[in-house]
Amino acid sequence: MSKKFVVRVWDAPTRLFHWTLTVCVVAAVITAQIGGAAMDWHFRLGYAILTLLMFRLIWGLVGGRWSRFSAFLYRPGQVLAHLKGQTDPQHAVGHNPLGALSVFALMGFLTIQLVSGMFSDDEISATGPLASLASSTWVSNATYYHAEVGKLILIVLVTLHVIAIALYFLKKRENLVRPMVTGDKTLEYAAPASEDHAQSRIKAALIVTVCALVVWAFVRWMG
Ligand code: HEM
Ligand code: HEM
């Protein structure tokens, strides 16, 4: 039997980020669909998602090795090689070139969704905190994007994200979900681990607290 290596790939903050983000995004879509009084929760969930994305942006610079953006910034050639099945083993430890594309697309369109939501107005009772600063044309374009276009883009991206993960499991027998829960991958080869100890988790808790305070101050100031 070949030797196996158990490597900590996703640190606890990254895992917590992922599953909290998933719950908040699904809940944001549901509360928006319900409308009315649920819009208060839609806004709160939006601010929670903003906090999470700000945290992830910073964690992408100072987090565990495999959570850093530098670990999954690939050149187009590397994405093509991956699609042809010629993946460098070190590119299969964290996000592989295809996974990285989906991560950046999800984060990018979530950010656009957040910004457009801030300028949206349903002309009944839900008005984003920045809508009063913009012209009515800008607000109606932002609302159209937010409620029609961005919503669809996100639903398509999340569906592709989940289908891709299901295909890795069905076609390649590679379970990507377990590492996003336990943190560890079992590899055929040695690879450096992400740091994931009390000190790095405290650092993450401090960063997320600062992000939450910044968002809270923004909402108080604008709201
Ligand atoms: C609204 C729903 C979801 C959103 C917005 C979302 C977003 C993301 C993001 C941003 C990442 C990158 C994680 C990071 O580096 O911080 C990621 C990775 C991942 N997500 Fe999701 N996700 C969603 C739902 C799901 C679901 C339902 C599953 C399980 C089937 C899942 C499984 C994974 C896995 C396994 C990875 C790691 C992929 C890899 O190994 O490269 N996600 N997701
Ligand atoms: C990533 C986070 C978000 C997601 C996924 C999301 C999703 C949605 C969706 C799907 C709708 C359309 C509901 C419908 O079909 O009518 C909607 C409406 C709305 N959202 Fe968001 N939203 C997010 C963040 C925000 C934020 C941060 C704000 C403001 C602070 C906001 C403000 C609004 C408003 C005012 C509407 C009503 C627009 C209308 O229906 O005319 N959203 N959102």
Query: Which of the listed residues 165, 172, 187 should we mutate to test ligand 1's pocket, taking the one with most ligand atoms within 8 A of CB?
Result: 165
* Ligand 1 atom 6 nearest Cα: 22
pLDDT tens for 37-96 read 999 999 999 999 999 999 999 999 999 999 999 999 999 999 999 989 888 888 989 999
Burial profile 120-159: b = 16 or more Cβ within 10 angstroms, e = fewer: bbeeeebbbbbbeebeeeebebbbebbeeebbebbeebbe
pLDDT tier, 124 (very low <50, low <70, confident <90, very high otherwise): confident
Q: How far, in Å, are 68, 111, 112, 199, 208 from residue 205 at the CA level?
A: 17, 22, 25, 10, 5
Note the CATH architecture for domain 5-222. Up-down Bundle (1.20)
pLDDT tier, 1 (very low <50, low <70, confident <90, very high otherwise): low
Instruction: In whole angstroms, give the CA distance from residue 172 to residue 179.
Output: 16
What percent of the chain has a predicted confidence (pLDDT) above 90? 90
Average pLDDT, rounded, for the chain: 95
* Ligand 2 atom 21 nearest Cα: 117
**Spatial contact of 11 and 195, defined as CB atoms under 8 Å apart:** yes
In the predicted structure, residue 219 carries a pLDDT above the cut 90 = yes
In the predicted structure, residue 223 carries a pLDDT above the cut 90 = no
Instruction: In whole angstroms, give the CA distance from residue 154 to residue 91.
Output: 26
pLDDT tier, 125 (very low <50, low <70, confident <90, very high otherwise): confident
Residue 197 has a pLDDT of: 97
pTM for the predicted model, two decimal places:
0.95
Query: Which of the listed residues 54, 74, 159, 161 should we mutate to test ligand 1's pocket, taking the one with most ligand atoms within 8 A of CB?
Result: 161
- Torsion angle of the four alpha carbons 111, 214, 52, 154, in this order, in degrees rounded to the nearest 10: -20
In the predicted structure, residue 205 carries a pLDDT above the cut 90 = yes
Instruction: In whole angstroms, give the CA distance from residue 130 to residue 139.
Output: 9
Q: Which atom of ligand 1 is nearest to the CA of 110?
A: 5
Q: Which two tokens stand for residue 77?
A: 């050639």
Q: Which atom of ligand 2 is nearest to the CA of 120?
A: 35
CB-ligand 2 contact for 106 (6 Å cutoff): no
CB-ligand 1 contact for 99 (6 Å cutoff): yes
d(CA 197, ligand 1 centre) in Å: 22
186-215 average pLDDT score: 97
Q: At what angle do helices 97-118 and 76-83 cross, to 10 degrees?
A: 120
203-207 average pLDDT score: 98
Query: Which of the listed residues 160, 180, 186, 196 should we mutate to test ligand 1's pocket, taking the one with most ligand atoms within 8 A of CB?
Result: 180
pLDDT tens for 11-51 read 999 999 999 999 999 999 999 999 999 999 999 999 999 99
Q: How far is CA 145 from the centre of its chain?
A: 20
